[in-house]
């Protein structure tokens, strides 16, 4: 599995929700099934730790906060894939989700994922609607 520092290079071209959805990278639920819950938690924790280290903030997350946040992401955003995870954290590093005001915590990270999940769902819906329209046009 790619580490966050490797993924930024290898998955950098997945820079929209649509590209992430169609990336064919493994979903969190698939990783959990194939490698176990502990391995998935470690993978998600590595992304959080990378982000925590990347940000120049005075109040960083501790190990317990990192693990709890990873578990919440695993449980609630299991449908996302590795490209999605990379995309959310890269956006955060670029300030897309707003100023952190000198601290990073689980709630902020969770809200990034929640916001992205809404955007991702809308993208998937729009893509299906467009595909349906194309099929309908071809029948006429």
Q: Which domain holds residue 80?
A: 4-139
Per the rule left: phi > 0, alpha: psi between -120 and 50, beta: everything else, 16 is beta
The whole-angstrom separation of Cα 23 and Cα 102 is 33
Contact 116/81 with Cβ under 8 angstroms? no
Model pLDDT, residue 129? 79
pTM: 0.90
3-state secondary structure of 103: strand
3-state secondary structure of 102: coil
Residue 133: is its pLDDT beyond 80?
A: no
DSSP letter at 59?
A: B
Contact 77/113 with Cβ under 8 angstroms? yes
Number of domains in the chain: 1
pLDDT in tens, 59-87: 999 999 999 999 999 999 999 999 999 99
């Amino acid at each position: 599995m790619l580490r966050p520092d490797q993924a930024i290079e290898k998955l950098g071209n997945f820079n929209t929700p649509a590209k992430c959805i169609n990336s064919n990278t493994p979903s969190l639920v698939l990783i959990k099934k194939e490698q176990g819950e502990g391995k998935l938690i470690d993978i998600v924790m590595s992304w959080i730790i990378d982000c925590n280290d990347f940000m120049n903030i005075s109040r960083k997350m501790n190990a317990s906060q990192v693990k709890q946040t990873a578990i919440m992401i695993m449980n609630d955003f299991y449908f996302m894939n590795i490209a999605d995870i990379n995309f959310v954290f890269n956006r955060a590093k670029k300030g897309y989700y707003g100023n952190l005001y000198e601290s990073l915590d689980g709630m902020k990270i969770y809200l990034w994922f929640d916001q992205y999940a809404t955007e991702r769902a809308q993208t998937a819906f729009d893509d299906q609607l467009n595909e349906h329209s194309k099929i309908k046009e071809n029948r006429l």
